[in-house]
Amino acid sequence: MTPEVKERIETLINQSKIMVFMKGNKLMPQCGFSNNVVQILNVLGVPFETFDVLSDPEIRQGIKEYSNWPTIPQVYLNGEFLGGSDILIELYQNGQLQETVEVALAS
């Protein structure tokens, strides 16, 4: 990954308390896993931003290297990698996601 791509990724991650790198956007997810993440965040009623990795191949590949996580979507909370769809579902189901998000948004 080039320094320019890394810088772009860091700028995107720091743009919002909750940033989701996904296929499509929050209004029109382009895969089931991305849709799962959007639905969970919508149920929690929290503000979040998305970046459509399908619109930018450099970011699509770069975010995987940046997080050392092979799949999309990827969720960042306060600049820290939280996980993908499976992790968000697990955190939501066991009640930890609501608390984690509330703490992050309050900081």
Radius of gyration of the chain (CA): 13
Domain residue ranges in the chain: 3-106
> In angstroms, rounded to a whole number, what is the distance separating the alpha carbons of residues 91 and 102?
13
Bridge-based pairing state of the strands 18-22 and 49-52: parallel
Cα–Cα distance, 3 to 5 (Å, whole number): 6
Amino acid (1-letter code) at residue 73: P
pLDDT at 1: 87
pLDDT of the chain along its 107 residues, tens only? Answer: 899 999 999 999 999 999 999 999 999 999 999 999 999 999 999 999 999 999 999 999 999 999 999 999 999 999 999 999 999 999 999 999 999 998 888 88
CATH class (in words) of the domain with range 3-106: alpha beta
- Give the pLDDT score at 75: 97
Structure tokens given for 29:
């997810």
Residue 44's pLDDT is what? 93
How many other CB atoms are there within 10 angstroms of residue 28's CB atom? 11
In single-letter form, the type of residue at position 99 comes to E
Report whether the peptide linkage leading into residue 57 is cis, meaning its omega lies within 30 degrees of zero.
no
